[in-house]
Amino acid sequence: MKILEVSGCGPLRGSTVTQGSKNSVLPILAASMLGGGSEISNCPSLSDVEVSLRILRHLGCTGALKNGVVTVDASGANAVNIPDGLMREMRSSVIFLGAVLARHGEAEICFPGGCRLGPRPIDMHLDALERLGAEIEVDGGRISCRAAKLRGAQINFSSVSVGATENAMIAASMAEGDTLIANAAREPEIVDLQDFLNKMGACISGAGSNVIHIKGVKELHGASHRVIPDRIAAATVLSAAAASGGRVELGRCRPQDMEAVLAVLGEMGCRMEIGSDSILLESRGRLKAPKPIVTAAHPGFPTDAQPLLMAACLTAEGNSVFIENIFENRYAHVPELRRMGAEIITSGRAAAIIGTERLAGAEVVAADLRGGAALLIAAMNAEGVSRIAGTEYIDRGYETPEAVFAELGAQIKRKEVKDAEQQQKKQAQEE
């Protein structure tokens, strides 16, 4: 079992750059199977990226990541099914459904896996594909889609869904006729997917607004594309710097994608100098609790940043309140933060943090990606040593986090421990 061992280290200082966006590159990799050869740069080395490449290879494509560049050759794509083992490894694997269907006229997958954040039904994905002409059968855990020809349609989402918007965009790009997606997700990653598809020869406009127009084309070709910076990875570094009372300059980022997070950090007392592609954050003295933070679809406060800002609020002066409107099980990190001395009360979708002056190192376990990042931020701000298990979740979205934070002065290293040893320590704490 791998763990991250963290010693409370005081203020983080220095400079670093932002990795490429996990939430952009995964749908882009799925879309790449609609063309010939594509080159995707600024790609982070993540376990989810590796799973996507394994799915592409299973589907008959070639794909490899080297020095931040993914090369994909989809000319040999011939399979229409994705096995259960691969689908279970990440939630966003469902994004391949629209791509395989558009390429071959049929697709078969099982229900996806990923972080346990509560029910995230894929009904809207399937409804969108049915609107485009797909016939769908659900048998147990398997989903079969068939369409002799996809046809443009009007798709009206009942609620905002990033994944369903992406699946509809990918499938509709090769449908016959025009498609209009209403109540579409507005995230920057949606715009990035549009840019990539248009480079492949698609005709899509409106991404970034709640209405997307797609004029279907008969074929797509490969393209070269640079993935946008990861706004959640950037928020993680800034939250850690704020909590530590540090001074960190973050380069290769897009401040315009992070306005809701930056507003909260400023409200908490951080001083920031914001450039076109950089953010210098300085935190002096004890942070102040912000006004209640309510998660919402973009451009609201992102649900992925909720655990990160919660970790920064643990030692803030005053009481902080979070309302989680996106995922119902996004407080799995709370019991682990309590082990470190955090005072947190939860009730349904609400969490209240009573600011405490200090945290203490502890043995904790990450239950999901962003919750794991929250534990990492808290551990760097705690007295003593913390050991964080469940690193496989953290590795889904962060490229060598131990190296990034060590460069900023954190005392952090990745270690291998025996499962039995870790379990004994966990049981001892519970007794």
User: Is 293 within 8 Å of 323 (Cβ atoms)?
Assistant: yes
Active-site residue, from 115, 145, 253, 270: 115
User: Is 69 within 8 Å of 40 (Cβ atoms)?
Assistant: yes
Report the distance separating Cα 372 and Cα 366, nearest Å. 4
> β-strands 154-156, 178-182: how paired?
parallel
Q: Which residues lie below 8 Å from residue 21, measured CB to CB, with a gap of 6+?
A: 44, 188, 189, 192, 227, 228, 229, 230, 231, 233
Which of 426, 298, 417, 293 lies closest to 365 in space, CA to CA? 426
Report the distance separating Cα 391 and Cα 410, nearest Å. 17
Give the chain's length: 431
Half-sphere exposure of 196 (CA within 13 A, CB side): 32
9 carries an active-site annotation: no
User: Is 414 within 8 Å of 4 (Cβ atoms)?
Assistant: yes
Q: Tell me the catalytic residues.
A: 115
